[in-house]
Amino acid sequence: MIRSSSFAFARRALLGAAAAATLGLAAGTASAQAPQFFRIGTGAAGGVYFPIGGILANAISNPPGSRPCDQGGSCGVPGLIAVAQATQGSVQNANLIQSGNAESGLVQSDVAFWAFNATGLYEGRPKADRLRFIAHVYPEHIHAVVRRDSPYQRMEDLRGKRIAVGLQASGARVGSELILEAYNMRPNTDYRPEYLNQQQGTERMQDRNMDAVLTVSGYPAGGFTEFCARVGCRLLSFSDAEMNRVIQRAPFYGRGIIPRTAYEGLTEDTRTLTVGAQWLVSSQVSDDLVYQITKALWNDNTRRLLDNGHAKGREIRRETALEGRGVPFHPGAERFYREAGMIR
C-alpha cells in the first residue's frame, strides 16, 4: 500500500470507525455486509488532485449500515469505503494501478496513453496494460509562476534559473519538461531543475531560493492561491510557436486560458496549455463494482458535492465525461455509458 498523508489516514480511521459503529447497530437485526475498500491515488497536498480525490471518495462511499440513497442516505456504492490517498501524481498513480497497489487513480491523459501503449516517455518500458477508463474529470492548465517582484516576463527569461518542475513521479514533471524542451531548454544544462511539488516550490520561492514553479494543475491550486495572496505572483504566458511544438509532440494538449480572477493580484489572463485529468481504474476490479462507481459518480447527489466541494469540481460534467480517452473503457463504465445513451 502506498504511503498516505495524515489526512488520508485520519479519514480512513474515521470511516472505519463509522463502519464499525453501523455494523454494531445492524448486528442484532440482520447480517452486516462486509465492507469493501477502494483506493484512489491522487496527488500531493496543495494541488487539485488531492481534494478532488477526496470528493470522489465521498461520492462513491456508502459504508455498511448506512441509510439507502432513497431514504436520504449516501448515494454511493453499498458497502464501499473509498479512500483518497496522497501520491506524487499521475505517473505514480498509473504505476500503482498497474502493480495492484491502488484500485484507481487520477492520471493525465497523455501519461495514461503513453503508459498503456509504452510509447512517448514510456518507450522501452513494459506496457501498463491494466489501465482502464472511467471518466474524463476536468482540464488541467500549465502554470508557470514567478514572484510578482521578479524580473522574469517571458519563459525565455528562465534560462539558467532554478525551476521547480514537479515531483519525480508526477504528471506535472512530464508537462514541465515538455514545455521547457519546446523552448530548447534542457535540464542541468539550460536550467536547474528541482523536483518539488507546488507547495514546496512556492515555499522556496517565497524565501528567494527558487526562481519559478512550473506545473500542471487545475486552477485555483491551493499552493498558488496562498502564495499569490501572501507574497504576490505573476503567471507567464506561452507563445503560439512553443505551444504548437508541444501539441505536435503531445496532441493531447490544447490551448487554454487561466483567467486573471484565478489568483489574487493577477492583472491579465494567461495564455497556456491544457491537458485532461482522467479517473482510471484497474482492469482487475469487477465489472459490477465499476458500473456502480460510475453510476454513483453521475448521481445528482454527487453533482451537489462537486459543485460545492472545490472550484474545479464544477468542471466535472457528464457532457464531457468521454473526452480525450486514450485507454480502453473498463467494461463496467462502458455498460453505464451505453445504458445512459452516451455511447452506442
The reply to whether 251 and 150 lie within a common domain is yes
Q: Does the pLDDT value for residue 52 go beyond 90?
A: yes
CB 202, CB 209: distance < 8 Å:
no
Helix (H) or strand (E) holding 81: strand 80-85
- Residue 299, pLDDT score: 93
Domain end call among 275, 291, 308? 275
Span of 2-11, 33-42, 118-127, 283-292 with lowest mean pLDDT: 2-11
- In this prediction, what percent of the chain has a pLDDT beyond 90? 63
The cell numbers describing 301, all together, are 447527489
pLDDT digits (tens, 9 = 90+) for 207-253: 999 999 999 888 888 889 999 999 999 999 998 988 888 888 777 78
Whose cell is 498509473? That residue is 94
User: What's the domain range around 96?
Assistant: 6-138+276-339
Residue 136 contacts residue 298 (beta carbons within 8 Å):
no
CATH value at residue 64: 3.40.190.10
What would the DSSP string read from start to end of 317-336? -GGGTTTT--SPBPHHHHHH
Domain membership flag for residue 1: no
3-state secondary structure of 208: coil
Task: Give the integer Cα–Cα distance in Å for 338 and 8.
Answer: 34
Distances from the Cα of 205 to the Cαs of 46, 146, 171, 198, 235, in angstroms? 15, 8, 21, 10, 14
Residue 344 resides in a domain: no
pTM: 0.75
Q: Which of 242, 258, 275 is the last residue of a domain?
A: 275
User: Residue type for 269, please?
Assistant: D
**Tens digit of each residue's pLDDT (9 = 90 or more) over 84-139:** 999 999 999 999 999 999 999 999 998 999 999 998 778 899 999 999 999 999 98
Residue 215 region by backbone torsions, left for phi larger than 0, else alpha for psi between -120 and 50, else beta = beta
Domain count, the chain: 2
> Using CA atoms, how far apart are residues 80 and 64, in angstroms rounded to an integer?
7
- Residues 170 and 108 sit within 8 Å (Cβ to Cβ): no
CA distance linking residue 18 with residue 217, whole number of Å: 33
pLDDT at 33: 60
pLDDT tens column, 284-315: 999 999 999 999 999 988 999 999 988 889 99
Residue 315's nearest CA partner among 170, 135, 157, 127 is 135
Domain boundary among 275, 298, 328: 275
Quick one: 223 and 248 in the same domain?
yes
